[in-house]
Amino acid sequence: MTNKSTIRRVSSAVSLVGLLLLACMAAGAATASGAGSKPAMSHEEQLRYGERMYREGILPNGKPMQALVQGDVPVSGSSFTCVSCHLRSGLGATEGTVVTPPTNGRVLFQPRGLLQKNFEMVPTVRKYSLSLPQRPAYTDETLAECIAGGVDPAGRELSRTMPRYHLNEADMAMLIAYLKTLSDRLPPGVSETEMHFATVITDGVRPEDVQAMLLPIETYISKKNGIASAFKRRPQSMRMAVNMMGPDLVAMKMSLSRWHLKGAPDTWRAQLEEYYKKDPVFALLGGIGNGSWEPIHRFCEDHRLPDLFPVTDYPVISSKDWYTLYISKGVFQEGEGAARYLNTMHELLKGKTILQVVRTTRRGKALATGFLSTWKAFGWPAPVTVELSADQPLTPPLLDRLLTKEKPAVLLVWDDAAALPAVAALAHRADRPGMVVMSAVSLGPELRHIPDAARSYLYLTYPYRLPQDDVRYDSFIDFLIKGKSFDEQALRIVKQSYALGALQSQALMEMRGEYYRDFLLDTIGMMPDMDLPLYERLSFGPNQRYASKGCYIVQLGKGDKPELVKRSDWAIR
Amino acid sequence: MNKTVLGIMAVAAFLASSAWADAPPEIFVVTDYAFDRASNPGAPDVVNGLCATRCNALSADYQSYYKPGGWRLIKAESGKKLVVDLDNPFVKGTCSCTGDVYDVYKDIRCPDTVNKGAAAEKK
């Protein structure tokens, strides 16, 4: 592979890149003649610029980095960012058969051997290591040559899909300085012997729901600690566990603190800061709250602290935030599902009115927001919206008046079960809307008691796997719930929390002994779909933060013990 | 092996083999769909997509049998065609949903994982 002609070609390429670099630097110096008068950049500033180059492919001067791929194809660095392959942690990626090496300073500045030390016999790590070539340790100079010329310190040319970046000396130095900070020291909450977590419980949650959330997490931790104890007593009997987890994780104990947040949400931040100061943790696991998760979400963003699968109906909907992974978009997702379903028949709804009756509770508003934002993203005009205050009942006469005035083809009722009598009364109205849509979750136990007359025109958003199908997944959680009693809501929470245990245990096993927060999230982003109770396929693509993306539209079947009948597939887009 | 043990084994085998002796539950896994144009010649093109949704909603998700384990699906019929009403309040017509029919058996190799599901399925 590294024959003489290749080396000559590489050397020529490096020389050429070097000349280009010099030219760039000269040009940079010329254009920045005023730059000499600028104050020297602080180290923090340099790291910020380095981070921007790594994550966004944007130079300190605000322009996109320039690069070549496949030998001579010019590309913009903002399209071929470092982070898209080496990931946020810089610890590399495995996607199918493609293995991307780590690019963080701690790993780069050490020689790479054939196998990862202490993980020689762990099959997953072994396979990963064998996919990467051996090489001497990088230096700043050889790393700069590699980034610019695509040649490693062993003289080996990198894959031609790795862009060769044109950077001037100062920008290159900033990028390398940033790489040195990536995943460079163990985060709080992790030591060689212990991994410490916390779970957040806010005021006002039913005690049985708190227990339902804690049960799978504490069971998982207890089982894991059992393995660690057994390993300590008789390591030779735990060979299979060592092979699955690696020699470090198998011996590691785990612990979970409960952070109770009391009082008004605007006081939670201070409480969280206090908890975190006294009791630093690697990540937050689960957690439960009745209201918005925003204060905890923001706290985690600011402290770069992962927060996995909190049980909340009101997650923060964001396409940019990174540290909180939600199991779904909660109530918002039902509104989104309704919009996706109606979009399949948009041609039939052109010129017709959609009326949205919204109870101005947190739930009603989240449903309406989910619908509206998705509906508008499809390019359709906003529906007519009528808001009802929390204490204004939706009576049959009121609904009659609204329908007489608006004559909608579709009526969305974002309200709870108290609206059912008014909806059922529409059965007698000749010009009732073709479809009435409500949230099945908002109806609670009344879902099974929808009056017969309304079942033909009432469509429901249902964000879970249908009960008659989900029963086949009961075996997953039988060991947790055997001998215990849970109502429907608590059982759902057990299932949500069980998904966290499955996600967490799998992710830790795939982290190759690199227990860094960003790498935990990177690893979860690379995991294949999971088939678990309650939700149809759970998965995170790169940068995705909501594992369940779909929603069914269902109707209630006929009879005293009706089943939910699908009217859509698991609509995800 | 004495006669008592053989007798118990025979009864167990009979019970296992006759668990679904009457009629095993069936599932339909859709493979194709089409709007029946003759059912409403003037219908707009969007009905094809609506038939996709309608037929997919009739389809069982075979993964929800395979993934939890404990189930065996044995193909009973290929290319079965179901003609169903489009069932849409804004446009009339019928859809042809084509798919395969599978008989669903509980896998007796892992009985603990399936009892509850099997009972639910039988209902």
Q: Domains of chain B: which residue ranges? A: 23-122
A188: in domain? no
From B88, which residue of chain A is nearest by alpha-carbon distance? Answer: A434
Check if the beta carbon of residue A199 is closer than 8 Å to that of residue A306: no
From A563, which residue of chain B is nearest by alpha-carbon distance? Answer: B123
Q: Tally Cβ neighbours within 10 Å of residue A8.
A: 10
* Domain CATH code at residue A259: 3.40.50.2300
Domain with A314 in it: 194-322+473-518
C-alpha atoms less than 13 angstroms from C-alpha of A497 in its C-beta half-sphere: 28
Residues 6+ apart with CB under 8 A from B98: B30, B31, B32, B33, B34, B79, B80, B81, B82
pLDDT digits (tens, 9 = 90+) for A123-173: 878 888 888 999 999 999 999 999 999 999 999 999 888 999 999 999 999
Which residues of A make CB contacts under 8 Å with B? 341, 344-349, 409, 434-435, 457, 465, 468-469, 471-476, 478, 531, 536-537, 566-569
From A350, which residue of chain B is nearest by alpha-carbon distance? Answer: B90
Q: Which whole-number Å values give the CA distances from A208 to A152, A563, B119, in the listed order?
A: 57, 27, 28
Q: Tally Cβ neighbours within 10 Å of residue A97.
A: 6
Whether residue A202 sits in one domain with residue A162: no
Q: How far apart are CA B89 and CA A323, in angstroms?
A: 44
Q: Which of A120, A147, A181 is the endpoint of a domain?
A: A181
Q: How far apart are CA B38 and CA B34, in angstroms?
A: 11
A347: in domain? yes
Closest CA to B95 of B54, B41, B42: B54
Mean pLDDT within B77-81: 96
Whether residue A446 sits in one domain with residue A411: yes
Structure tokens at A122: 């762990």
Whether residue A345 sits in one domain with residue A315: no
What confidence score (pLDDT) does residue A39 get? 65
Whether residue A458 sits in one domain with residue A484: no
- Helix pair angle (A488-509, A474-481), 10° resolution: 100
A545: in domain? no
Q: Could B53 and A344 be called an inter-chain contact, meaning their C-beta atoms sit closer than 8 Å?
A: yes
Contacts of A344 in chain B (CB under 8 A): 46, 49-50, 53
Whether residue A137 sits in one domain with residue A79: yes
A467: in domain? no
Contacts of A537 in chain B (CB under 8 A): 63
Question: Residue A164 forms beta bridges with which residues?
Answer: A68
Question: Residue B82 forms beta bridges with which residues?
Answer: B97
Q: Which of A127, A151, A181 is the endpoint of a domain?
A: A181
Residues 6+ apart with CB under 8 A from B24: B103, B104, B105
Residue A325 host element (H or E): strand A324-325
* Residue A251 burial by Cβ neighbours in a 10 Å radius (0-12, 13-18, 19+): buried
Number of domains in chain A: 3
A238: in domain? yes
Whether residue A53 sits in one domain with residue A20: yes
Closest CA to A338 of A376, A375, A312: A375
Residues of chain A with pLDDT below 50 are 1-36
Check if the beta carbon of residue A376 is closer than 8 Å to that of residue A320: no
Contacts of B71 in chain A (CB under 8 A): 472
Question: What are all long-range contacts of B57-60, with beta carbons under 8 Å and residues at least 24 apart?
Answer: B57/A566, B57/A567, B57/A568, B57/A569, B58/A566, B58/B28, B58/B30, B58/B82, B58/B84, B58/B97, B58/B99, B59/A569, B59/B28, B59/B29, B59/B30, B59/B97, B59/B99, B60/A469, B60/B27, B60/B28, B60/B29, B60/B102
Q: How far is B23 from chain A (nearest CA, A)?
A: 19
Check if the beta carbon of residue A550 is closer than 8 Å to that of residue A463: yes
Considering only the C-alpha atoms of chain A, give the largest distance between any 2 of them, rounded to a whole number of Å.
89
Residues 6+ apart with CB under 8 A from A521: A88, A89, A306, A322, A323, A325
DSSP state of A138: P
A479: in domain? yes
Whether residue A423 sits in one domain with residue A511: no
Structure tokens at A59: 């130079």
Q: Which of A181, A215, A244 is the endpoint of a domain?
A: A181
Structure tokens at B70: 């404990």
A445: in domain? yes
Q: Tally Cβ neighbours within 10 Å of residue A1.
A: 8
A307: in domain? yes
Whether residue A36 sits in one domain with residue A98: yes
Q: How far apart are CA B88 and CA A326, in angstroms?
A: 34
